[in-house]
Structure formats: structure tokens, C-alpha cells
Amino acid sequence: MELRHLRYLLAVAEHASFTRAAEALHISQPTLSQQVRQLERALKTQLLDRTGRTVRLTDAGRAYAHYARAALQDLAAAERAVLDVRDLSVGALRLAMTPTFTAYLIGPLVARFHARHPGITLEVRELTQDRIESALLADEVDLGIAFSGAHLPGVEGVALFTETLSLVVGPRHPRAGGAEPVTAEDPEQERETERGPVVELPVRELGGHQLALLSGDFATRGHIDAYFAGQGVQPPIAVEANSINALTEIVQRTALATVLPDAITRGHPALRPVPLVPPLPARTVALLRRESAYRSAAAAAFATLAREWVREAGWAEPGERGAPGGGG
């Protein structure tokens, strides 16, 4: 049984004639008659009464035609739904990202995506990268935003931009300093210059500065610890937190320092980056997805939008395109 069998039966029932139905369907009458008989043989019942001057549905035919008509209507609706999804008038997208990105990236990306595609429903989850990759493999999320590096088999990604990190202090820290305001044409630059000149800090001097850092279950913390270990320093850690917002609040109100992406620091006028020497290694931010997974129109549109936004923001291009893994 094929869809054409249903359409042919309903056409004969509507026109009450094989001849007129064949003309409407643009097929020969013998072909139409043969196809309807194939359907009757498949169902093992007679659907049409051919004995009168006109062709009529039998009782079984009327019962079957009711469901056949409903089935074709549902299929037509399904085809329209597919078209709606393709043109992004409706749909859903499940996103996951590591915590640092909820502090500075997800807001502008979702704002632009929602303005462009208001009919798409977004589900946003904050997860560590190992959980993002597991969720991708389990088909619980469509896309993830995390970092390049080692990753689970079956997860792939495309590099988006390079994220840089710095030591960050608040106004109560001795390194916050101060200087006479320097006039700048760019208001953003002026806000930076009002903090005074940036003074680098040799990493070997970190032993005299207490830190507030993300807790050990975040890959960002692993990235920081690996840097400290490579430099042979062990700065005192006074506070561990599992929230970026908690860290920024703590640093603004204490003499503690932290390590944050520069993009977060730029959004907090009270925070000041202090470049370390040698600098913290940069990281490549990547868009993750499951290999060979169905890629919805919404997922493709979000990926395109993310790349557009990164270019417009002027963020550093990644040094290489690669498979994602690592952070949080």
C-alpha cells in the first residue's frame, strides 16, 4: 500500500467515476482501476461498488475513506510543519554552555537570535563541559559552547574565537591603583584609562596575593592550576566558588584577586585586569555538536549567527579550527 492508493480511492469516490477521476489525476483509466484493485486486495475487502451507473463507496469503503482522508490531511500538515521549521517560523533549539559563557556570551547571542527568529523556542542549560559532551551524545542538547581540546568520541566542533584570561582585582586590592583620568575618544577606552596605567605582575610574585577562584569541578580552574604549576607557584586560595557572579561580587568587595576572561572584566567597571608575566595561555572557544547528528535549521541558524556576532565584536580569530573539548 502506498499513498497514491489512498489518493486514487478518494478521487474515484469524489467523482463517482473512474473516467472522470482518471482525467483529474492525469493518468489512464486502466491504471487507476488497477491501482484501486491493488488496494482492495491488500485490505482483503471491496471498497467500491461498481455495479450501478455511478461508482460508490461500499460500507467498508466509506469507513476506510474517512481515515484515509484524515491521514492525507495529517501528512499535508506535516509537510507544512517541515516547511515552517525550514524557514524558522517555528521550532526548538537546546543549548548548553560552560559557566563562563553565561556571564558574557549567552545574553547577546540569545537576544540577537530571538529578535531574528522569535518563533524558535530556546532551552539554555549551564553545564560543565564533560556534562555537555555527554548530553550531546545522549541527544539531550543540540549545540554546546565550550573549549577546544580533548573530547569524548563522537563529539565534534568548530572554533569560534580565542578567549584570553587575566588576573583580576577590585577597588580594594593594592593593585587597583589609580591615576588621573585620560581623555579618550572611545567611551569604553576612557573608562579603562580612568583606572590608571596597567602594571604587569610577574607570576612569581603571586605568593603575596590571596585568590578567589572557581572550584575544582570547573575546567577553567584546571586551566589556571596547570598554568600555576607550570610556573612553579602556589598562590594562597582564600575562597572557592562555583559561580562567576559570586566571584565578581567577592572581588569587588574584598582585597582578593581572581582569574577571569577579559570579556567578563570589560563588563564590570569596578574590576581591573592585571596582566601576568608570562601571560595565562589563551583558550579557543568552540561550538560543539554530535557527529553525524541531524542538524536542524534552528541549530544551523544559531551557528551562523554566533560566527557573525564574533566577527562583528572583533574578537580574536582562533589560531586553528579543531575539535572541541576541555573547559567549564
Verify that 99 and 72 share a domain, yes or no: no
Spatial CB neighbours of 127, under 8 Å, sequence gap ≥ 6: 96, 97, 98, 135, 144, 328
The whole domain housing 270 covers 165-277
Task: Please list the pLDDT of the chain residue by residue as tens digits (328 residues).
Answer: 789 999 999 999 999 999 999 999 999 999 999 999 999 999 999 999 999 889 999 999 999 999 999 898 888 878 877 776 778 888 889 999 998 898 889 999 999 999 999 999 999 999 988 899 999 998 889 999 999 888 899 999 899 999 999 999 999 888 776 433 333 334 344 344 444 556 789 999 988 889 999 988 887 888 999 999 999 999 999 999 988 899 999 999 999 999 999 888 888 889 999 999 999 999 999 999 999 777 888 999 999 999 999 888 887 767 543 333 334 4
Q: Based on the structure, what is the number of domains in the chain?
A: 3
Instruction: Convert the chain into a string of H (helix), E (strand) and C (coil).
Output: CCHHHHHHHHHHHHHCCHHHHHHHHCCCHHHHHHHHHHHHHHHCCCCEECCCCCCEECHHHHHHHHHHHHHHHHHHHHHHHHHHHHCCCCEEEEEEECHHHHHHCHHHHHHHHHHHCCCEEEEEEECCHHHHHHHHHCCCCCEEEEEECCCCCCEEEEEEEEECEEEEECCCCHHHCCCCCCCCCCHHHHHHHCCCCCCCEEHHHHHHCCEEEECCCCHHHHHHHHHHHHHCCCCCEEEEECCHHHHHHHHHHCCCEEEEEHHHHHCCCCCEEECEECCCCCEEEEEEEECCCCCCHHHHHHHHHHHHHHHHHCCCCCCCCCCECCCC
Verify that 7 and 71 share a domain, yes or no: yes
Q: Which of 85, 120, 149 is the last residue of a domain?
A: 85
Verify that 157 and 188 share a domain, yes or no: no
Residue 327 lies in a domain: no
Q: Which of 85, 116, 132 is the last residue of a domain?
A: 85
The CATH number of the domain holding residue 54 is 1.10.10.10
* Contact call for residues 309 and 108 (beta carbons, < 8 A): yes
Whole-number pLDDT of residue 189:
42
Residue 328 lies in a domain: no
Verify that 158 and 232 share a domain, yes or no: no
Whole-number pLDDT of residue 217:
80
Whole-number pLDDT of residue 251:
94
For residue 328, the tally of other CB atoms under 10 A from its CB is 24
Verify that 174 and 264 share a domain, yes or no: yes
Verify that 273 and 177 share a domain, yes or no: yes
Residue 211 lies in a domain: yes
Whole-number pLDDT of residue 198:
64
Q: Which of 34, 58, 85 is the last residue of a domain?
A: 85
The CATH number of the domain holding residue 108 is 3.40.190.10
Whole-number pLDDT of residue 319:
54
Verify that 150 and 176 share a domain, yes or no: no
Please tell me the distance from the alpha carbon of residue 78 to that of residue 318, in angstroms, as a whole number: 41
Verify that 115 and 70 share a domain, yes or no: no
Residue 318 lies in a domain: no
The CATH number of the domain holding residue 210 is 3.40.190.290
Whole-number pLDDT of residue 177:
63
Residue 325 lies in a domain: no
Residue 324 lies in a domain: no
Verify that 104 and 174 share a domain, yes or no: no
Verify that 177 and 267 share a domain, yes or no: yes
Verify that 70 and 217 share a domain, yes or no: no
